[in-house]
Amino acid sequence: MREPSRSPRAGAGDRGARFADLGPRIGSAAALIATALVALYVGGDAFALFWLLAGFAVSWEWQSIVGGEMALARFALGGASLAAATAFAAHGGGPAALASLAAFSAILAILAGPGRRLWAPAGLLYAGSLIVSTNVLRHSPDYGAISIAWLFAVVWGTDVMAYFGGRLIGGPKLWPRVSPGKTWSGTLVGVASGALLGLCVVYLSRWSAAATLPLFFVGLVAAALAQAGDLFESWIKRRFGVKDSSRLIPGHGGVMDRVDGFIFASAFAAMLGGLRGQESLAAGIFIW
> Residue 260's pLDDT band (boundaries 50, 70, 90)?
very high
If one compares 193 and 14, the residue with the highest pLDDT of the two is 193
> Residue 10's pLDDT band (boundaries 50, 70, 90)?
very low
Containing H/E element for 180?
strand 179-183
What mean pLDDT do residues 234-243 have?
89
pLDDT digits (tens, 9 = 90+) for 133-164: 999 999 998 899 999 999 999 999 999 999 89
If one compares 72 and 243, the residue with the highest pLDDT of the two is 72
CA separation for the pair 35, 117 (Å, rounded) = 35
- SS3 state at 170: coil
The total number of residues shown for the chain amounts to 288
Check the CA dihedral 192-252-178-78 and report its sign: positive
> Residue 20's pLDDT band (boundaries 50, 70, 90)?
low
What mean pLDDT do residues 197-221 have?
85
Contacts of 236 (CB under 8 A, 6+ apart): 62, 65
Q: 279: which DSSP letter?
A: S
User: CA separation (Å) from 130 to 159, 172, 266, 269?
Assistant: 17, 32, 7, 11
Alpha carbon 203 to chain centroid, angstroms: 23
If one compares 10 and 36, the residue with the highest pLDDT of the two is 36
Instruction: Please state whether 241 falls in left (phi above 0), alpha (psi between -120 and 50) or beta.
Output: left
- Cβ atoms < 10 Å from Cβ of 275: 10
Q: Name which of 11-15, 65-69, 215-219 the model is least confident about.
A: 11-15
